């Protein structure tokens, strides 16, 4: 399973470790992903999503159905 948020589409970013001597080596910054279950009231079932902390805030603000529809339109999620 890839490290991608299913609501916001956040992915790992690439950057540098910078040592005391200013040597730069590649590193990755991973999103804060959580595996979370949500109850979908229209379908009357539980859905498990892999969402970032920011994705949880989006779901709390807009609601689960709206957030899922927007994620489908943007291509972040195909089925749930």
Domain CATH number, residue 36 = 2.30.170.40
What is the rounded distance in angstroms from the CA atom of residue 71 to the CA atom of residue 78? 9
What is the rounded distance in angstroms from the CA atom of residue 2 to the CA atom of residue 14? 15
Band of the pLDDT at 77, cuts 50, 70, 90? very high
The tokens describing 33, both together, are 């992903």
Residue 1, in any domain of the structure:
no
Domain count, the chain: 1
The half-sphere exposure of 42 on its side-chain side, counting CA atoms within 13 A, is 6
Residue 49, in any domain of the structure:
yes
Domain that holds residue 53: 13-74
* pLDDT (tens digit per residue) in 6-61: 999 999 999 999 999 999 999 999 999 999 999 999 999 999 999 999 999 999 99
Residue 6, in any domain of the structure:
no
Band of the pLDDT at 75, cuts 50, 70, 90? very high
């Amino acid at each position: 399973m890839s490290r991608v948020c299913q609501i916001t589409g956040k992915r790992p970013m690439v950057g540098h470790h910078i040592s005391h001597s200013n040597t730069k080596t590649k590193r990755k910054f991973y999103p804060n992903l959580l595996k979370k279950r949500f109850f979908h009231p229209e379908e009357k079932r539980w859905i498990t999503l892999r969402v970032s902390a920011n994705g949880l805030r989006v779901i709390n603000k807009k609601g689960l159905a709206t957030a899922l529809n927007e994620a489908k339109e943007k291509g972040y999620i195909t089925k749930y």
